[in-house]
Chain A
Amino acid sequence: MSKNFEQKDRVVIRFAGDSGDGMQLTGTRFTETSALFGNDLATLPDFPAEIRAPAGSLAGVSAFQLQFSSQDIHTPGDEPDVLIAMNPAALKVHLEDLPKGGYLIVNENAFTKKNLKFAGYEENPLEDGSLDSYSLFSIKMSEMVKHSCEGLDLTPKLVDRTKNFFALGVCFWMFDRPLDPTIKFLEKKFGKRPELVEANTKALNAGFNYGETAEIFTTRFKVDKAELPPGKYRNVTGNLATCIGLAAAAEKSDIPLFYGGYPITPASDILHQLAAWRNFGIKTFQAEDEIAGIASAIGAAFAGNLAVTASSGPGIALKGEALGLAVIAELPLVIVNVQRGGPSTGLPTKTEQSDLFQAMYGRNGDAPIPIIAAQTPGDCFYAAYEASMIAVKYRTPVILLTDGYLANGSEPWKIPDVDSLETFSANYMKNSNGDSFQPYERDKETLARPWAIPGTPELEHRIGGLEKEDITGNVSYDPVNHHTMTVMRAEKTANIVKHIPDTPVYGESGGDLLILTWGGTYGAARSAAETLLDDSMKIGHCHLRWVNPLPKDLGEILIKFKNILIPEINYGQLIKMIRAEYLVDAKGLNLVRGRPYSAGEIVHAAKELV
């Protein structure tokens, strides 16, 4: 039977299965292969907080969506074109997102009475006609891998575990992707257990060959390489990019990197990654709790390191008092908050943008901290680099906001040239030239105080959490001085606005509607803006990287539009800051579901407003 190639600009695939089915690995393999092939792409891993919820249960469904394209794309896609459901629970959870006519590939062997009942199906949907409106490919994957692995010295359980690679093989066939990178990956991953390499490779090949020979598929798809700016690329997740950014900042500035932190989802990968880079001289310290994580970082900053701590909302809450200490001590410090659903433990593995207020105001006293928010997984590199640079240059804690979606999502990232990165240095205070040293005497331009680190002769001094006297840094309870220092701290943060370049506005520079975003909502909003502009609407998209201070030109941008729409994954935070600061009647889009917006939702909200 002849198989035709159909050309597509972009395709969205969603792999869904039980937590034990290896969907994250399968999705990552498809991603890496597509990245190497040259597509632009964006990913959305979506997994439960439970390590292993009961097999076959709805709670245990884990999914990985990616969009890959021959064009420049910004999101992991709204609705999937292809849904792979490895069991009835995965079908139950994800079918509602698959448009009619969409491709549905299922592991028929998993549709047992027990699993159907567990997923809440009274009838087998593969047999009752309820899936007739989809292009259903029901494949006995478990049986297939049993055949392909015949003769290998493996338990039936291990053989069955290779079925995700069978499904991957089918997808590779459908979208004409090479198998080699995955086979190499398997050799590396299971190098010490050749039987597992062989079994998974056989399953992968079997899936690919099944597509080739079985009579059920009529069409294959071609998604050409994307026209990306020339350069060398790699695929990065946001957490990895954050780590590279921090390491790059340390290397470029020649300030040793210290990381103090405590494991927390979804920030732990930052600790894992940095801990592996000991040969860069990076010191990581898994502290006894979140407070000790930031406390050790403050100590390291006092002693002259580029100090970093990372956490997520609940952990940042615990660090609040120490953040205030970093503010009053005016020490360089980078605090990464990989935001997740809250309040309290909330939704540990789901994304949210609801810690903006926490970053802005979550401390006692007037305690301003500059805030930068990364906009894409790859931008986490630049945001981490910039946060480090500002922290050192202005001697201040800086909060870097990312989120679960950026942290675990990935995209092709153009590797920057080392020389193109802006340099900065510690500029430690050397000696007092015989004069008495004044720890709170400031640089006139940055308002930064000197960084005089222990071990430097003649600069012995004491700092602390009690109010400081201007210039001397001695303890002071003087009312006028307290006011002076409060204003000084506010001005020092506001002064960072000098560093922020003019804000680009995408699309129209004035008109009916401005979509204003921050953080991980960038991608969906940019896609939405493209759609709206294609519809000849007079709209613009403005994205904020620095949230505190706000860019100096933002007010002028806002007044050029009749309407302002602020989509954010919280119940209205940036919008309150914007309304308070600029007295504009901005409208919010606030769906707080633990997942990113689709571009379609923003398009819809924009059309409603205009």
Chain B
Amino acid sequence: MKFTDSTYEELVEQINTLQENVNKLEKKAVSHMQAEYDLETSERNLSAILEMNADGILIVDTDGIVLYVNPAAERLFGRSKDKFLGYSFGFPVSASKTDDTLVIIKKETFCEVEFRVVCVKWDKRQAFQLSVRDITRHKRYEEALRTSEIRFKTLTEFAPVGIFRTDVNGVTNYVNPRYCEISKLNSEEALGKGWLDAVHPEDRSLLDKDWKQAAISGSQSYSEYRFLHTDGSITWVNGHAVPLRDQSGDLIGYIGAIEDITDRKRAEEKLIESEAYYRTLIDISPDGIITSDIEGNVTYGSKKAYEIFEEPPEASFIGTSILKWLDPEYHLMILERFADIISGDVKPVTAEYKLLKHNRSVFWAELSSCPITDSKGNTNGLLIVCRDISGRKKAEDDLIKARDKAEEGDKLKTAFLHNISHEIRTPMNAITGFSALLGEPDLTQETQKSYIDIITQSSDHLLDVLNDIIEISNIEAGILKLKRNEINLNTLMGKLFKQFKLTAAEKGIELRYRTGLSGNQAEVITDYSKLVQILSNLLSNALKFTLKGEIKFGYNLKNENLEFFVSDTGISIPDDEHNKIFDRFYQVEYSTSRQFQGTGLGLSISKEYVELMKGKIWLTSDPGNGSVFYFTMPYEQVFKEHHISPPTSELLKLLDVDIKTLLVAEDDNNNFHLIKQLLSELNVKIVRACNGIEAVDICKSGLKIDLILMDIKMPLMDGYTAIRKILDHSPEMRIIAQTAYGDDEERSMEAGCAGFISKPFVRKQFIKMMKEFL
């Protein structure tokens, strides 16, 4: 081998090339080694993946012989690797696209698995990789879920409550049969929005509000609402709804339950009705109803109770002690009642109490009380029915008064009969007395005539008394009839004036009369005799009653009525006596203090007459100024004429009666005349007193009085009182009592009289007695 420069150069070049190739090779080798290393790593990684896989993995060849099995597969099949490798597992044909199932035989048990097949290369050969996953547990979950669903469904199907589920808009997607029963909807109607149409229109907005509130607050809603059925009936339900949320917390709907509470609602309504019913009963009861607790504090008062106690509605009984409303006198009584109730006395008790109104005025009430018990039978209060019995009490009082009055009337009647005998005896005394005197010899004709006059007067008076008694019995019998007489009022006034002027003159009293009409206007139709009697009664009374001054009478026309009047200047009559004096027998009420001579029937008869003539009778009386009696009757003219003359008046003044000298206390003129006559032969000075007061005054005046002849029954002050007063002033005074009553002797002697003489007088006996005392 010849080395030339060129050859060398070529060699160098070849060496370089070789060197480069060596480098390349080295690099390649390194890279290859690297690749081998990478492969090894990769395979190891793959192996680790297979080994660690949770699924069982088998690799089989095309004949189904097992080439590889991982630990998970060993566990799954329950056999070790050496019982797999080389065994025929089988060629997997079924699984290609979808997951398939196999049942693996694990000793005596079977285990369902899901398996998946992929084609792989194993040791450079075609092979199949089977992934096997145990789905038993999964199946079990599914089964459990299914069981649970069945259970849930069974539960809801047979639940006694209606169950529903809705979406967020309230569109129902599930209801159970009970829901349909309650709502009376079929399941098609109940699903969707239909159920809301069945809810009572008045309750829909409420329900909507409740649900929204529940959704906001996250709590369950509770509503009571109604289903309005197509037949118009109503079912009350209470509904609970719970908002449903997905995992992110968004509201996805509601689930809830409804319960039929119609019966309960009906019961509540009935209770309300029943309560209203009983409240009405309580309110319309005429009795007040009050309840209190066991300590006696008021817990309720009915409207009527407020009325009875006059408790203002804005005030209240509630909480006040019941004692506040009872007169203190009755506190013990009600406390005893409470004690009885606490100790178990359950009987209702009714008793009368004095109660206090709001203004503390007292009234009578009947309280019925019984205990209030709770549901266990324990007494926890008192029910009181309060009846105002003021009216009944008043009626009872009135009845007692009426009875007393009747008894009093009876007494008065007895007194009247007693008095009548006196009234008859007094004129009888004059008649018998002067009749006897007429028999005396040597009487002048004048004296005889005066005796006869007295006898006539006394007879007339006796007749009057008897007439009065007959009139009273007519009134009692109700057989009074009005007559229609045509009279002239002015003529009547004149007649009356003439009739009474003498008596008035004797007493020194002025008598006047006034006529209110003139001419034809005074011609009226009326019952003449009754009118005369009324006026005569009033005039007689006025004359008897008046000791000095004047008596006026007359009439006026007032509002189509004739108003008659008789005024006097006698003593006044207290207001409370104004009505009484028209009562029969009133004048004789106080046995001896006789106001008027007469039967005591005059005013009573007058009143009856006035009322019969459709008029009124009354009097006015000022203390110290005497009295005026008025009465009215309808004005009925005989001839109607329309001119009215001014009233005329007549006046007659009479002389004073001479005062004689001697003390004879005697109100009756005739008796006085008789006494004067009897005493005339004894030549004594006679001073007369017409009543007890005058007698006392005369005794006190300093006039020397040797003997007093005292009548017992006199007006203003009776004889007994006068005797006592006179003896108080002049203890030595000798007094002879003279009276018409039969039983007065004893009383006269007790009063301090020296003697007693009974009417009518027997002349000789009287003269003898006078002589003895004088």
Does B bind A?
no
Residue numbers of A with Cβ under 8 A of B are none
Residue numbers of B with Cβ under 8 A of A are none
